[in-house]
Amino acid sequence: MQMNAQYQQRMQWFHRARFGMFIHYGLFSIPAHGEWSMFHDRVPLDEYDALADRFLPAPDAARHWVKMAKAAGMKYAVLTARHHEGFCLYDSAYSRFSSVHRGCGRDIVAEFVAACREEGIRAGLYYSLMDWRFPGYFNYKTDLKSAQAMKRQCHDQVIELMSNYGKIDLLWYDGYWLNHEGNSGDGFWDGEALNARVRALQPDIIINNRAGTQEDIDTPEQVVRHSERGRAWESCMTIGDLWGYTRHCNTYKPTAFLLRHLVDAASGEGNFLLNVGPMPDGTICPAEQERLLSMGRWLKVNGAAVYDSRAANLLPSPLGIWTQDEHYTYFNVTLWCGSTLSLPLIDGEALEATLLSTGGQVELSRGTNGRLIFSGMPEDPPDPYINTIRIRFAQKPARRPEPDPAAWLLGKA
Ligand code: FHN
């Protein structure tokens, strides 16, 4: 897929970034069993509304999120300005169901955007098109008045978010469907017209593909699925089970898995948007903090293999993941084999190799079937998660073709 120069220009920071923080925070953080609790529990509007007066994020909550994102090696963050529950974390002229009119009486989006700018990371805003508080969301075929009021709120609020908070780097739409039915939102939201207005206000903004138009990035969810080369994409994923805070989650993904997802995304020129669901006061829970800090430590040593990565034209391996940048090729070992590693079908002159986790040089030799053999490495993996070998080739290496798929049997591939 060829994209125009303007698109390439707009996407540059995104490709450099590779790793971002998703922040699901709202009234749902208080009952603490996920961001869909209002619907799943069928909590009536007046009962759910009472939560707004208990919405009391700590004064430094936004700064805490952004500092934690930086410590994790993340280069941007996306905050739920308004999730499906309809509660705005900002000062909306179209709703008093907000953190400014209720609870803490503060504009959390303003605090978040300011913290991003002061800490030097890019600011994204998540906005749910749909809003459970409108009966027309559920009865969209019959309660047209309510459905149209919900759509009007959507357009008005997106425009006020794009107008009142300075430069916004990423607009992350969600909740495109109606009555929880797949593509029922088709032709309802006028995403094309809305995004034309958004781009007039924010000419450099990146917009995702969840308002009924393709826009700039694909958004696979809870999976790392590569888009075709040239099309930017971003996999979003939870650390625990759900996106909003859950008090007793016992299925937090291991750091090794999260790093593997990040490197896998980087290998396909995609981004990884890893989610935190802050506790009621805005604090990121210890289990999520622990994983974020571990990932940050790994990226401090091996980040060159991820940031601004490009896909490598080399044979995929069950032992690790290939990534590339302008100067080097990286083999990110996910399954350590001991002091020696042999990778086949590699055309290109390898000049030198370094094991980033130790800084030590790796000996190189060649075998049949295009095998590049790394040796002289530690018997046990120096890094507990992923050990990255940085290789300098005379020219970009390429996967050796196999016109005769059986040739390797006789060492003739
Ligand atoms: O329903 C939402 C969900 O709560 C969460 O916000 C995710 C994040 O991408 N999006 C929707 C589910 O696809």
387 alpha carbon – ligand 1 mean position (Å): 33
pLDDT of residue 170: 99
Q: Would you say 18 and 308 are in contact if contact means Cβ atoms under 8 Å apart? A: yes
Q: What ligand 1 atom has the least distance to the C-alpha of 221?
A: 9
Greatest pairwise CA separation for the chain in angstroms:
75
- Does the pTM exceed 0.75? yes
What count of Cα atoms within 13 Å lies in the side-chain half-sphere of residue 201?
Answer: 20
With CA atoms as reference, report the closest residue to 9 among 254, 206, 229, 261: 206
Tokens 């995702």 sit on residue: 208
Average pLDDT rounded to a whole number, residues 56-66 = 98
Distance of alpha carbon 95 from alpha carbon 161, whole angstroms: 13
- What's the pLDDT tens digit per position in 358-380? 999 999 999 999 999 999 999 99
347 alpha carbon – ligand 1 mean position (Å): 43
pLDDT of residue 183: 87
Quickly count helices (H) and strands (E) in the chain: 10, 18
Burial of 43 (0-12, 13-18, 19+ CB in 10 A): middle
**Statement: residue 2 has pLDDT above 80:** no
pLDDT band at 51 (very low <50, low <70, confident <90, very high): very high
Q: What ligand 1 atom has the least distance to the C-alpha of 80?
A: 6
pLDDT of residue 243: 98
- Proportion of the chain above pLDDT 90, given as a percent: 98
pLDDT of residue 1: 41
Identify the residue whose C-alpha is closest to ligand 1 atom 4: 35
- What's the pLDDT tens digit per position in 206-258? 999 999 999 999 999 999 999 999 999 999 999 999 999 999 999 999 999 99
**Angle made by CA atoms 381, 254, 247, in degrees to the nearest 5:** 155
174 alpha carbon – ligand 1 mean position (Å): 7
User: What 8-state DSSP symbol labels residue 3?
Assistant: -
DSSP codes joined into one string, 125-193: EEEES--TT-HHHHSTTT-HHHHHHHHHHHHHHHHHHHHHSS---EEEEE--SBTTBTTTTTTTS-HHH
Average pLDDT rounded to a whole number, residues 191-220 = 98
**For ligand 1, is residue 236 a contact (CB within 6 Å)?**
yes
Phi, psi of 332 (to 5 degrees): -95, 100
Average pLDDT rounded to a whole number, residues 322-343 = 98
With CA atoms as reference, report the closest residue to 130 among 190, 177, 80, 183: 177
Average pLDDT rounded to a whole number, residues 83-100 = 98
Distance of alpha carbon 154 from alpha carbon 168, whole angstroms: 17
Q: Is the dihedral of CA 138, 140, 144, 145 positive or negative?
A: positive
Distance of alpha carbon 30 from alpha carbon 57, whole angstroms: 10
**For ligand 1, is residue 91 a contact (CB within 6 Å)?**
no
DSSP codes joined into one string, 238-302: ESSSSSS-BTT---PPPHHHHHHHHHHHHHTT-EEEEEE---TTSPPPHHHHHHHHHHHHHHHHH
380 alpha carbon – ligand 1 mean position (Å): 40
Average pLDDT rounded to a whole number, residues 178-195 = 95
- In the structure encoding, which two tokens stand for residue 220, read together? 């696979």
Q: Which of 221, 242, 273 to mutate to test the pocket of ligand 1 (most atoms within 8 A of CB)?
A: 221
3-state secondary structure of 334: coil
Distance of alpha carbon 15 from alpha carbon 29, whole angstroms: 31
**For ligand 1, is residue 221 a contact (CB within 6 Å)?**
yes
Distance of alpha carbon 97 from alpha carbon 78, whole angstroms: 21
Q: Would you say 217 and 259 are in contact if contact means Cβ atoms under 8 Å apart? A: no
Q: Amino acid letter at 185? A: G
**For ligand 1, is residue 35 a contact (CB within 6 Å)?**
yes
Q: Would you say 147 and 140 are in contact if contact means Cβ atoms under 8 Å apart? A: yes
Question: CA–CA distance from 331 to each of 154, 224, 301, 352, 360 (Å)?
Answer: 45, 19, 14, 13, 15
pLDDT band at 3 (very low <50, low <70, confident <90, very high): low
- What's the pLDDT tens digit per position in 273-332? 999 999 999 999 999 999 999 999 999 999 999 999 999 999 999 999 999 999 999 999
